A and B are shown apart, each in its own frame.
Chain A
């Protein structure tokens, strides 16, 4: 029964027990200021005593000095709780240099009752010690037990000066006092003579066994009832984190207080064949091991070696063929072993000496361990002919005779075709033998290779562009998939750059804004084959701007545009980035960095992976362009700029702003290439962590050739430049590590037009070039191994009329 908690204003008869609501205060253990180093504190000093600072102290710089007459006692300012019989040893160092027996001192234990009234004193037997000289500090010590009525003790020192003028000094008190157990475990018993009411507030419960406290009409005495408290604690406890488990058997890893050892789940006995052809009979495990059958020790499947217990059956000696044992099972308590062409039956026993062959027959065999099943008193198994039983097959000496499975032989043989592995069970609840043949799934047919891809062309003739084109590698033709169909009120204008979303559902373009505010940029849905694109609502209405470049974020949820701003209107925003959704189109605009908002022209803009954006901006009048890279976070937008001295390419040697070329990033994200008219084939290393790296070595001198645009093949193993004038293509092998490789053997086709763009189909099987004059678009087959292939025929002879500036292919 639980002891009740003390209640206010309650009637308690003598002998009532309570536990306090609040725990009693714990007892002090140490003597306060025992060496007087804290100064004049913690001690009760009668007349004649002072606490002084003097280097002659026994320890430290302070000690107590008695300069009075007769006896004077220095006592601790604190009384310490004791229990009757408790033994205490008190010590202190003193010196009494008086002459003769005129001065001395000794330590005292002053015992006090519950009301802290003196009961008695314990002191050394000799009550007068004299050290005789100031240099002689002596130890005074007393060991005594608390008398029966003692509840407190006070440590003290008594000094006596009977004659002379020399003082008595004391320093460095110490004792072995241990406070009585307080707090937990104490209960309080009413010891008054008659029943009385407790007070309205809880008394100050004594923390010492035997002490009492008055609580209105009740007197409580601290008592202890025998109680044993058991605490459970873990001997082994794992750590807060999972250890790195070792993989080698026998290796150990520490895990807090546990040491784990890796053990193998296999039977490690070298004589265990670990084959799946297994049978348990006669308290042993039998396993086929090529043409013999090994067995374990009796009732110990981990032991396959102990002589006269584990061993093997020489089944290979009992047959006239070289097949391995394939089926083990039991038949009427005996072990049956099949291979593909013979049958054996062995008497088995826990004692290997009692094992013997009972029957053997060639021409009856099985190779399907999991099809064999004891059924009633028979053993069903599967042969090449179908399901058979041991009893009938043995009696008939062949497999062709009528047996239980003969009726379904043809069906079973059909089901066995292929790589099926039969699985059987005996279902006693229904008296049934189940034999299952699971057919492997039909292999997925190889999808037909895509031969027709679509791409979007942007150009100067607003009446003709953007237009969705197609190219078909099967027919080696290209043509118009869908001409534009712009809503009423939308103004046609030139488009300088175009980009298709990663989903292939939309494209954006940067256009010539002079024809109207809604021609600066735009976006349209790529509808189904043959269906014209339909535009999204434009996000801005600006005049005086001219679009330059546009790009989709690789995740398809951000679009970015760059602009040329007419000088007459002063600097404006050179870059705009918007959230994007294929269904709803443009979303909120991201804040543009100040450095990009105050420039006249940002020619190119491309995402380099998901977390960087590269721009080529105008460096100012008659100054070189500047290539910069900014960190990008789709949640926050533009981030910090990559280091400017990290190898960003300079501009044309003549200092004029480059008007040609596009930034392209290799598919693996390790390189950036720019086709600059006077820089020829220019490429440099790129890292998403550090930005621009060192330039690659150029592929070699190409006299008199200027370049307009570049593209990496989707595999990243080739890079193709389109000539600015006079040539169509210059094709090089590529590797992000080594840069330019050998030039392909394909001819550099002559051209009388100015090249504008080059792009690969998503599968890398086609490549499209655009020009400023007829033929405005040329499509070729492409192979990373051999380079430029056959040119495709123009099926529709679509009239572009003017420059076709850019193309972008629609992903699959």
Chain B
């Protein structure tokens, strides 16, 4: 029994909010709120939502849960034109992610091997990572066990005009 939970977090007024997706190893039978806390009943167990928690409790043991931020395949300019990804910068807080670049929108498994980043690469030059494709997708994988947040990912591309 599992539950897929979509969480929409509201942002500042006038700004779009953000969706997160969680997969719980139990069914969500009921929500209830008391004060500022949100409780979830699953079977005979009640859990409380804790924004500070970075681990799951599984059978009495604390187990880190991984996180993933994944952008769709984006054109980064003229549709259908092959682009050259020259490099990127990542800005976040807490735990740094492993970055992968998707280069074939027909195959969600077609990504470059993960490259571990610190929490902020902005100081200094771009992190070079050459990839060529008409559309590119950026995926960040966090190992979990620590807090993390993503502020931005800056990519620099060069359109290969005249190419297929």
By a beta-carbon cutoff of 8 Å, the part of chain A in contact with chain B is: 375-376, 380, 387, 404-405, 407-408, 411-412, 415, 423-425, 427-441
Contact = CB atoms under 8 A, between A and B. Distances in A.
A429 B37 contact: yes
9 contacts: A387-B8, A405-B8, A405-B19, A408-B21, A429-B35, A430-B49, A435-B8, A437-B5, A440-B1
Contacts of B38: 425, 427, 429-430, 434
B10 A376 contact: yes
Nearest to A380: B8
B10 A436 contact: no
B139 to A, nearest CB: 15
B131 interface: no
Nearest to A423: B28
Nearest to B27: A438
B46 interface: no
B36 interface: yes
B58 interface: no
Contacts of B10: 375-376, 431-433
B6 A427 contact: no
Given A404-B17, A431-B10, A425 B33 contact: yes
A376 B28 CA distance: 23
B3 A439 contact: yes
A404 B9 contact: no
A292 B3 CA distance: 33
A441 B42 CA distance: 13
B45 interface: no
- By secondary structure, the B interface counts as strand
Interface in B1-36: 1-10, 16-17, 19, 21, 24, 27-31, 33, 35-36
A674 to B, nearest CB: 53
A436 B51 CA distance: 18
Nearest to A436: B28
Contact of A411 (B1, B6, B30, B49): B6
Nearest to A437: B4
Contacts of A431: 9-10
Given A433-B8, A438-B29, 17 more contacts: A375-B8, A375-B10, A376-B10, A387-B6, A404-B8, A408-B6, A427-B33, A427-B49, A429-B36, A434-B6, A435-B5, A435-B8, A436-B5, A436-B24, A436-B28, A438-B3, A439-B3
Contacts of B21: 408, 411
Contacts of B16: 404
A435 B37 contact: no
Q: Most A CB atoms within 10 A — which of B5, B8, B10, B37?
A: B8
Contacts of A429: 33, 35-38
Nearest to B32: A425
A16 to B, nearest CB: 62
A755 to B, nearest CB: 55
Contacts of B1: 438-441
Nearest to A429: B36
Nearest to B21: A411
Contacts of A438: 1-3, 27-29
A418 B19 CA distance: 23
Contacts of A405: 8, 19
Contacts of A424: 31
B123 to A, nearest CB: 31
A439 B7 contact: no
A436 B2 CA distance: 10
Nearest to A441: B1
A436 B49 CA distance: 14
Given A408-B19, A427-B38, A434-B38, A439 B27 contact: yes
Contacts of A428: 33, 36
Contacts of A376: 10
Nearest to B31: A425
Nearest to A435: B6
B31 A423 contact: yes
A440 B1 CA distance: 6
Interface string B54-87: 0000000000000000000000000000000000
Q: Most A CB atoms within 10 A — which of B28, B30, B33?
A: B28
A433 B18 CA distance: 10
A412 B6 contact: yes
A430 B9 contact: yes
Contacts of A411: 4, 6, 21
B3 A436 contact: yes
Contacts of B5: 434-437
B3 A430 contact: no
Interface in B127-164: none
A510 to B, nearest CB: 50
A432 B20 CA distance: 10
Nearest to B18: A407
